[in-house]
Structure 1
Amino acid sequence: MIRIFKTVETTIQAIETFEKGCWIHVTSPTSEELHHISEALQIPMNFLTDPLDTNERSRIEVDERNVLIVVRIPLFNNEQDVAFTTLPVGIIYLDDVFLTVCAQDVEFFDKFMKGRVKNFSTQYRCRFILQIFLKAALRYLTYLKEIDTRAANIQAELHQAMKNQELIQLLNLEKSLVFFTTSLRSNELMIERLQKVSIIKFYPEDQEILEDVMVENKQALEMANIYSNILSGMMDAFASIISNNLNIVMKFLTSVTIILALPTLVASVYGMNVHLPFQESPHAFALTMGISFLLAGMSVFIFIRRKFF
């Protein structure tokens, strides 16, 4: 899908053709659409296809007149086991137009399309790049807080857990943090290199946004590292707790088995009916039951003293 936008005065409007100063947003493109854009704007085909690879890392590639910037943005999908992942977005900087290429139609760019981003204009391409980076860093921070909240909720359930479901949920959150940490680190390196690209020139009024981008990205990276370390330690601790909970249950069941085995032993012996004590007594049954309950009671007393229960 190809959508074209342009800032007219102070509003963002959708247009039908490529114009100077427009923003071209390409999502899930067909091969025909890619060839059309490549031929119309003289863009190398690999600039358009590389960002469609979900494993593409953050990087910058420069040719004679074009600049390709790949940045990884956070993505949330609650229907998947690993709900928080990242996705590459290609930013192609041309002389007259600005392109974004993404393998999926994500809501990340909705506010740009609706003109809800402060000081956003399709003509200010350098500022647009920084605004994308800033929005990505802020989105990382939002999702990191959500991951921390989910981990706290799982932690409350783990105290009584004896199954692996909660640990699997923590493992999925840890995978998300690995994705975030890797993407944030590569984004940080890419932002540093971006300042050295001669084709892209940032104006003095964009320096404040650039500083915000670097601060927010660094904060998100530190938070991801902290949460990852905490989550890793939490998983080790609660794996031991689950094992300990299972041991307690097994110890209780073993104690009950022993208690029930002693009366069963007495009853089995007296069931032989061959030269047994009290077999001539009219109180034989009562004596036998008394011995059984006495042995069971002694077992319970010993287990309580040894804190088996």
Structure 2
Amino acid sequence: MYNKYILESKNFVPVENEDDYTWLEIINPTEDELKFLLSDFNLPKDYIFDVNDPYELPRTEGLEDDRPNLFILSYPIRLSNKDYITRPIAIIVAKEKVITIYNEKSDVFENLKSNKSHKVDNIDEIENFVLEMAWEISKAYIDYVKILDKEIDELESQTKRSTRTYHLEKIIALQKSLTIFQMSIRENAPVIESIFEMGYLEESENRDDLLRDLQVENKQARVMVERSTVMLDKLSELYTNVINNNLNEVMKTLTSVTILMTIPTIVGGIWGMNVRLPWENIPHAFWILLLLCLVVGIITLIILKRRDYL
């Protein structure tokens, strides 16, 4: 499917006009839509088809005069509070219009359409639209890492006295998401810098400020991911130690209970033999043996307690 938008009061408004639009958004394109792009905009095939590969690496390419008219970035997609993936988006500047091609929806694009956090004032400029898209992607990484941090904090409080594998599975999911983020943010960095090689931004008075701010945003995302990764690694080690410690406590308790239960079993086994034994002719022999088991059990329990086995 595809949508066409025009910018009005810094908001992107859908339009039906075939020519009067600024942004052509193509989501999970059909074969006919791909043919339309190839013929109407005279684009190379790799511009269109490479984005269908979910593992396509971020990069830039130029149509003419080495101008980087194609920008492929990795954007984050939230599946749950602990599960995230990234997918490529192709941003193409052609015929004074911006074309974006991606296969899976994300909050990044909804934020861009609804003017939630515009970084660039004159976003109506095509080059600034590309800059705004890069800004939203970098900001999305930061927002999602904050959610992951909350999950890590919650997980830390839950794992102090737990041996459940659920928490281990959650740690693995968080580690996977952070690793994906770390690689995508690193690969996005050179593409973001290449945005400022476009002619318009080279002449812009606030070019250096925009470049610095976007670089800082991307660096902040990278640092936050690295910090969260370290925290999660430490938490994983802590969780492993907690599990081992809890299992040791359980084994000590079970072993101590086994020892206590063995005492009456041994006494009962001995006095159950078909041979002559002490007290066999005493009417209250059963109660005497029961009392003997109880006394020995209490003494054993005291010894185990003093040695911190219980």
TM-score, with length taken from structure 1: 0.91
- Deviation of 1:111 after TM superposition, in Å, equals 3.5
Cα separation, partners in 2 of 1:199 and 1:9, compared to 1, 3 Å: closer
Whole-angstrom distance in 1 between the partners of 2:10 and 2:269 = 95
- Deviation of 1:277 after TM superposition, in Å, equals 0.7
Q: Where do residues 34-113 of structure 1 align in structure 2 (5 Å cutoff)? A: 34-64=34-64, 67-78=69-80, 83-113=83-113
Q: Which residue of 1 aligns with 2:19?
A: 19
Q: Does structure 2 retain, via aligned residues, the 8 Å contact 1:7–1:13?
A: yes
Letter in 2 for 1:304: K
1:162 aligns with 2:163: yes
Whole-angstrom distance in 2 between the partners of 1:226 and 1:11 = 35
Whole-angstrom distance in 1 between the partners of 2:28 and 2:243 = 44
- Deviation of 1:206 after TM superposition, in Å, equals 4.3
Alpha-carbon RMSD: 2.3
Q: Does structure 1 retain, via aligned residues, the 8 Å contact 2:196–2:207?
A: no
1:238 aligns with 2:224: no
Deviates more, 1:231-240 or 1:122-131: 122-131
Q: Where does structure 2 lack aligned partners over 5 or more consecutive residues? A: none
Q: Does structure 2 retain, via aligned residues, the 8 Å contact 1:130–1:210?
A: no
Q: Which residue of 1 aligns with 2:131?
A: 130
- Deviation of 1:122 after TM superposition, in Å, equals 6.5
Q: Which residue of 2 aligns with 1:304?
A: 305
1:73-111 Cα deviation digits (max 9, x unpaired): 1211129xx522222111001242111111123332223
Whole-angstrom distance in 2 between the partners of 1:301 and 1:6 = 82
Q: Which residue of 2 aligns with 1:250?
A: 251
Q: Does structure 2 retain, via aligned residues, the 8 Å contact 1:126–1:202?
A: no
| Aligned residues with identical type, % of pairs | 26
Whole-angstrom distance in 2 between the partners of 1:204 and 1:3 = 33
1:283 aligns with 2:284: yes
Whole-angstrom distance in 2 between the partners of 1:116 and 1:290 = 78
- Deviation of 1:113 after TM superposition, in Å, equals 2.8
Whole-angstrom distance in 1 between the partners of 2:28 and 2:248 = 52
Whole-angstrom distance in 2 between the partners of 1:134 and 1:48 = 23
Cα separation, partners in 2 of 1:21 and 1:33, compared to 1, 3 Å: closer
Q: Which residue of 2 aligns with 1:31?
A: 31
Whole-angstrom distance in 1 between the partners of 2:122 and 2:134 = 15
- Deviation of 1:123 after TM superposition, in Å, equals 4.2
Letter in 2 for 1:76: R
Q: Does structure 1 retain, via aligned residues, the 8 Å contact 2:131–2:195?
A: no
Deviates more, 1:53-62 or 1:191-200: 191-200
Whole-angstrom distance in 1 between the partners of 2:92 and 2:195 = 13
Deviates more, 1:20-29 or 1:93-102: 20-29
Cα separation, partners in 2 of 1:66 and 1:15, compared to 1, 3 Å: farther
Whole-angstrom distance in 1 between the partners of 2:97 and 2:112 = 16
